[in-house]
Structure formats: structure tokens, C-alpha cells
Amino acid sequence: HRVFVARVYFLTAAEGGRPKPVLAGYRPQFYLRTTDVPGRLDLDRETGPGETVDVRVELGKAVALEPGLGFAVREGGLTVGAGSVLEILD
């Protein structure tokens, strides 16, 4: 699957995450089980560190997914968020 809805928590700078908000079109790496895949988050609004949001995720390639699967959101060698798959769209 490549497209899904997820609930993502963005770490604060004190937790080791981003110091700045995440904007629409954000393109981090997603670490799912033992693979890492580039992808894009579709956000309705600017999302600051410390917030939890439901977002649509589109991965750069298809991977095995199931509702409840946890994943990490990484950028530049840092884990900036943690999420779980809510619903698979494709």
C-alpha cells in the first residue's frame, strides 16, 4: 500500500524533534518495521511541535501496511515524530 491515514505526534525540540512547525507538503522519511521510505504528509494546517494530528500519508513506494502499525517520522537523521496507521486508502 502507498496511501493511508495516520495519527502522528510531532516531538518537541526538548524531546529531540523539530524546533519549527511542519507545513503542508512536508516530505520526511517514514520508518515502518525494517524499511525506510520517503513520503509526503498532507496537512490541513501548520502543525507545531508537541501536537498530535490525523494526516493523509503518501509513500514513495508500496510497503506492507495494516491498521495499528506504528512508525517513526525522521528528518535529517532525527526522529521528529511517531505515528500509527489508522486506515489504508490504497
CB atoms within 10 A of CB 54: 13
Do residues 73 and 27 make contact, with C-beta atoms less than 8 angstroms apart? no
Do residues 85 and 66 make contact, with C-beta atoms less than 8 angstroms apart? yes
Would you state the pLDDT for residue 17? 93
**Rounded CA separation 37/39 (Å):** 6
pLDDT in tens, 30-74: 999 999 999 999 998 999 999 999 999 999 999 999 999 999 999
The whole-model pTM stands at 0.92
Would you state the pLDDT for residue 9? 97
User: Would you place residue 24 in the very low, low, confident or very high pLDDT band (cuts 50, 70, 90)?
Assistant: confident
Do residues 17 and 10 make contact, with C-beta atoms less than 8 angstroms apart? yes
